[in-house]
């Protein structure tokens, strides 16, 4: 496995970013100001992670996505571990927001994240079309935090 920081042509990764966030307009709001990390296994792109500074103590994962054929193989976990190691000397916390999807929430909780708060109606207020995961419409954004 190899993780590379992508510094140019980040929009070339839009197809995989859309797995983690279905709205290109929303992705474009954070993509240029985020650090983008791409994970390759045997030169095949499997996963990406967009990270940006939230405040002086906090770094935020804005997008974590893995192609479906590579999911459940540890690539997302490897990117989270990479981000934690990369930022632990400069920040105290790692946060992220996600929809109310039990599988996704459990994935993050197994990696040390704890739910902190919700933003009511985030998905219905900020996305042009309804967003569905596992057949369920996402309404609220759930924020999780981890100590680095």
Using the predicted structure, report yes or no on whether residue 134 has a pLDDT greater than 80: no
121, 139 contact by CB (below 8 A): yes
CA gyration radius, the chain: 15
Q: Which residues pair with 144 in a beta bridge?
A: 96, 115
pTM of the model: 0.91
Asked if CATH classification 3.40.630.30 holds for the domain at 2-147, the reply, yes or no, is: yes
pLDDT digits (tens, 9 = 90+) for 71-110: 999 999 999 999 999 999 999 999 999 988 888 899 999 9
Look-up of token digits 């045997």: 42
Q: What is the mean pLDDT of the chain?
A: 93
Out of 45-49, 91-95, 122-126, least confident range: 122-126
Answer with the residue of higher pLDDT: 53 or 127.
53
pLDDT above 90: residue 138 = no
Torsion on CA atoms 74, 76, 82, 87, rounded to nearest 10: -150
Domains of the chain by residue range = 2-147
pLDDT value at residue 46 = 98
Q: Which of 101, 90, 92, 116 is nearest to 64 (CA)?
A: 101
Percent of the chain residues past pLDDT 70, beyond the cut: 100
Q: What is the mean pLDDT of residues 26-53?
A: 96
**Does the structure show a pLDDT above 90 at 125?**
no
Q: Which residues have CB under 8 Å from 37's CB, separation 6+?
A: 3, 4, 5, 6, 48, 49, 50, 51, 79, 82, 83
Average pLDDT over residues 16-42: 94
For residue 7, what pLDDT is reported? 96
């Amino acid at each position: 496995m190899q993780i590379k920081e992508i510094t140019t042509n980040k929009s070339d990764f839009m197809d995989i970013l859309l797995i983690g966030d279905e709205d290109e307009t929303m992705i474009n709001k954070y993509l240029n100001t985020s650090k983008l990390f791409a994970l390759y296994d045997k030169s095949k792109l499997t996963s990406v992670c967009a990270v940006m500074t939230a405040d002086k103590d906090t770094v935020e994962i804005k997008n974590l996505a893995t192609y479906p054929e590579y999911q459940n193989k540890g690539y997302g976990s490897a990117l989270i571990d990479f981000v934690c190691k990369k930022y632990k000397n400069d920040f105290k916390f790692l946060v992220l927001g996600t929809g109310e999807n039990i599988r996704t929430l459990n994935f993050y909780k197994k990696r040390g994240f704890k739910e902190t708060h919700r933003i009511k109606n985030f998905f219905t207020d900020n996305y042009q079309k309804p967003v569905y995961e596992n057949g369920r419409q996402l309404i609220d954004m759930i924020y999780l935090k981890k100590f680095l």
